[in-house]
Amino acid sequence: MIRLNESVDDKLRKRLMSYGTGDKNYWSFRGKAAREHAHSYLQYPAMMVPQMQRKLIEIIRELVPGIKSVYDPFVGSGTVLTESMLQGLDFRGQDINPLAVLICRTKRGPFFEKALREKTENLFKNIEADDSKDVDIDFRNIDKWFRPDIAGELSRIRKAIKREPAKWSRRFFWVALSETVRLSSNSRTSTFKLHIRPAGEIKTREISPIEIFKKIVYANHGKLSKIRKLLEANSFIKRDYFTGSVEILLADSTKALNSNGNGNGKNKFDLLVTSPPYGDNATTVPYGQYSYLPLQWIELSDIDEKIDDSYLSTTHAIDSISLGGLKKDALEDSDKIGKLSVTFSETIKSLQDEPRDRAVRVAAFCRDLNNCIDPILDTLKPDAYMIWTIGNRRVGKRSIPMDDILSELIAARGAKNILKFDREIPSKRMAVKNNFADTMRKESILVFKKGNY
């Protein structure tokens, strides 16, 4: 039976549900989640599945006419950025982590393929011509994290990048250097945390950062070429630049943009697609700690003029300014959040008899997550649709229902809950290593519509 006057919201709900009914594993994208072209310039923790974000944006655009711009306030490595560009949409992404801002500012282009090839040859020549063993940077414990010969080679790369005159090209090379640092430091690559390798292994490892760097640069050339072709095929490139507008901001999403020193924040967006962290960085995914060593080797002013040394003052400086990083007065503030989310109140109550730190951690994270919601809604046009991906983390033995807490916090602002559905996370790595609820290996997709304000 055909229903007359079926609303867009109903159609959207039905369409999204239809994928899950035909194939209950549809949204897991098992075996179909390869990270191609710009999506794999650099490894970043907890990246979204590009194919899934692509499908979600496509479905919404089919049913809701006039969507021209996308906003991601937790942009990370820019999965949503690249998928939005591939659909010719304007974009704004924000992140508190300078490494995320670097990746995204590189991914947005320009796409000067030929110039990049020439600049690469020049860069490699300068690296070869430099026979110095001096180390170009210094920070606390540098000798713990880098063998002197490795630090010497990384310095030769760094010095050559600094000599490159064009910022867009330096950024492309800084991304490749970041990945080189990750692979050649004394920290294990099997975890996002800084975790020293055994002494014997450090001593005997045979690696050359320059060779690693070259391989990454060439591989990233190929990836740039591929994304460029895909954009060109849809006429989304003009004179080497993406045709839409892309803003990438180093910003704290708990704060309104004009209080972040990022202009007046007047631009409003048609669609939100995002995935916030699932808990405080220290006990879930330490994005900041992961970025600490790579950022030491990068000229920070090339990422953003606003960055100062405070971001790298300790290994956990970025994590402590990220969501849930500041624990002070968290439980004292929890009554206010409890009025917006009954699931939050119940969760805090259920933690009463456990070590106090557990409730504090959850309360601090939810306080910050709640503080994001008004600035985010303010950045969207009336009736804009929102797609939030979130998972439940574990505290002690308890699974914290972040999906319900976030849903209630958004609904408390008058937004309309269109649909929530779950997807299996095929990779075990996240759940096992990072305190996500064991039983889950799933995350939730929350689809909301902002009210007409």
Ligand X SMILES: C[S@@+](CC[C@H](N)C(=O)[O-])C[C@H]1O[C@@H](n2cnc3c(N)ncnc32)[C@H](O)[C@@H]1O
Question: Which residues contact ligand X by CB under 6 A?
Answer: 44, 46-48, 74, 76-77, 79, 94-97, 100, 252-254, 275-277, 287, 322-323
Residue 76 contacts residue 273 (beta carbons within 8 Å): no
Tell me the closest approach of the beta carbon of residue 32 to ligand X, in angstroms.
16
Q: Tell me how far, at minimum, the Cβ of 277 lies from ligand X, in Å.
A: 5
- Cβ-closest residue to ligand X? 76
Compare residues 351 and 387 and give the one whose CB is closer to ligand X: 387
Q: How far is the CB of 14 from ligand X (least distance, A)?
A: 27
Residue with tokens 């690559």: 189
Output 209 or 276, the one with its CB closest to ligand X.
Answer: 276
Smallest separation (angstroms) from ligand X to the CB of 314: 16
| 8 Å CB contact between 35 and 50 | yes
**Nearest-CA neighbor of 69 among 55, 59, 80?**
80
Give 83 or 90: the residue with its C-beta nearer to ligand X: 83
Asked whether the beta carbons of 363 and 337 are under 8 A apart, the reply is: yes
Residue 94, strand partner residues = 249
Instruction: Give the C-alpha separation, 322 to 169, whole Å.
Output: 29
184 versus 284: smaller Cβ distance to ligand X = 284
Please say which residue, 287 or 385, places its beta carbon nearer to ligand X.
287
Q: What torsion, rounded to 10 degrees, do the Cα atoms 293, 33, 372, 89 define?
A: 110
Residue nearer to ligand X on the CB measure, 196 or 432: 432
Pick the closer one to ligand X by CB: 44 or 269.
44
Q: Are 271 and 92 within 8 A, CB to CB?
A: no
Count Cβ atoms below 10 Å from residue 29 Cβ, excluding itself.
18
Cβ 272 to ligand X shortest distance, Å:
12
For the CB of residue 77, give the shortest distance to ligand X in the complex, in Å.
3
Q: How far is Cα 212 from Cα 210, in angstroms, rounded to an integer?
A: 5
β-strands 69-72, 269-274: how paired?
A: parallel
State in angstroms the smallest separation of the CB of 262 from ligand X: 12
Of the pair 184, 275, the CB lying nearest ligand X is at 275
The backbone torsions φ and ψ at residue 7, rounded to the nearest 5 degrees and listed phi first, read: -75, 160
Q: How far is the CB of 71 from ligand X (least distance, A)?
A: 12
Terminal Cα-to-Cα distance of the chain (whole angstroms) = 35
Rounded distance between C-alpha atoms, residue 274 and residue 390, angstroms? 9
Bridge-based pairing state of the strands 241-242 and 393-395: unpaired
Is 297 in a helix, a strand, or coil?
Answer: coil
In terms of DSSP bridges, do strands 398-400 and 380-391 run parallel, antiparallel, or are they unpaired? unpaired
